[in-house]
């Protein structure tokens, strides 16, 4: 029975790579449904995302590709299936609610394993969608102690990504390193401008003409991880910072949704502190 695979390749650039890789598909009579390539000339890195259909064994196809690619190549042959995500939230409902609705409508190519929050404010919302909700309070706990409780919950579950849907706590290096390149955050600013607290107030004070939102992978550098998606909307001098905040929430949920779509469909390569998005 025919099946589909997403083939992701990240390696040093070399002459004839596309030919050698395509030959592997041709020899197995696989149809190339789509193909995108990019060469980072500055660093000599080659990236390719190819979707193929046909009769193949996943392990054999991977081995064949490894034999013609550079030795250090990172090659993944992925048979598409819904990924598993964990959502983390605090009190704001717009980003979390948008993801829950998309999931309920079948738009999200993922299953939501649970929602973890440091307040119980959003429990009633989450329960409406029959998603498990875990409240892990912070009172009386150090940041490390609180995260230990959260990590104990997370580590009991099989998951692909953790999505910070307006989770308003800075994560420790221990947490970030435990789930490296698996944590996605939505930041209420067009990074790298206006990082940290209350960027809308900062933006208003600077008299900006556009505001935006940024979805990125989380690293130990606050709000400076590889950017997955961004967008902006126009604003003007008539708007107070709270008006900008309300408008910005719409951008935040759209950008987070777009970034999730890219990641869940295996369209994102991390290239240093940048991303390649096909």
- pLDDT digit string (tens) for the chain, length 278 residues: 899 999 999 999 999 999 999 999 999 999 999 999 999 999 999 999 999 999 999 999 999 999 999 999 999 999 999 999 999 999 999 999 999 999 999 999 999 999 999 999 999 999 999 999 999 999 999 999 999 999 999 999 999 999 999 999 999 999 999 999 999 999 876 655 666 667 767 777 777 788 889 999 999 887 789 999 999 988 888 888 788 788 889 999 999 999 999 999 999 999 998 999 99
Tell whether 122 and 254 lie within a shared domain: yes
Burial of 144 (0-12, 13-18, 19+ CB in 10 A): exposed
Does the annotation count 223 as an active-site position? Answer: yes
Identify the pLDDT of residue 9. 98
- Predicted TM-score of the model (pTM): 0.90
Tell whether 40 and 104 lie within a shared domain: no
Tell whether 109 and 236 lie within a shared domain: yes
Tell whether 22 and 41 lie within a shared domain: yes
Identify the pLDDT of residue 192. 55
Tell whether 133 and 35 lie within a shared domain: no
Tell whether 172 and 211 lie within a shared domain: yes
Tell whether 170 and 47 lie within a shared domain: no
Identify the pLDDT of residue 195. 63
Among residues 10, 33, 74, 223, the one annotated as catalytic is: 223
Tell whether 108 and 42 lie within a shared domain: no
Residue-number span of the structural domain to which 149 is assigned: 83-277
C-alpha to C-alpha distance for 80 and 103, rounded to whole angstroms: 17
Identify the pLDDT of residue 194. 65
Pick the last residue of a domain from 45, 78, 111.
Answer: 78
Domain count, the chain: 2
């Amino acid at each position: 029975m025919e099946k589909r695979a997403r083939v992701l390749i990240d390696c040093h650039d070399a002459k004839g790579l596309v030919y050698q890789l395509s030959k592997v598909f041709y020899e197995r009579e696989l149809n190339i449904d789509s193909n995108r390539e990019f060469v980072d000339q500055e660093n000599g890195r080659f990236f390719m995302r190819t979707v193929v259909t046909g009769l193949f064994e996943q392990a054999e196809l991977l081995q064949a590709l490894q034999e013609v690619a550079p030795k250090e190549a990172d090659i993944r042959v992925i048979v598409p299936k819904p990924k598993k995500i964990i959502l983390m939230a605090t009190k704001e409902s717009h980003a979390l609610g948008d993801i829950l609705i998309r999931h309920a409508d079948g738009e999200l190519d993922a299953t939501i394993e649970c929602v973890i929050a440091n307040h119980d404010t959003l429990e009633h919302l989450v329960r409406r969608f029959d998603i498990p909700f875990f409240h892990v309070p912070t009172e009386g706990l150090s940041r490390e102690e609180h995260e230990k409780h959260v990590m104990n919950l997370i580590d009991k579950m099989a998951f692909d990504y953790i999505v910070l849907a307006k989770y308003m706590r800075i994560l420790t290096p221990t947490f970030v390193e435990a789930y490296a390149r698996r944590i996605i955050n939505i930041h209420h600013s067009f990074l790298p401008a206006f990082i940290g607290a209350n960027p809308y107030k900062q933006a208003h004070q600077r008299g900006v003409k556009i505001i935006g939102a940024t979805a990125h992978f989380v690293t130990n550098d606050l709000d400076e991880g590889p950017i997955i998606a961004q967008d902006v909307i126009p604003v003007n001098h008539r708007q107070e910072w709270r008006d900008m905040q309300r408008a910005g929430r719409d951008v935040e949920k759209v950008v987070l949704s777009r970034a999730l779509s890219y990641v869940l469909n295996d369209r994102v390569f991390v290239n240093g502190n940048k991303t390649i998005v096909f």
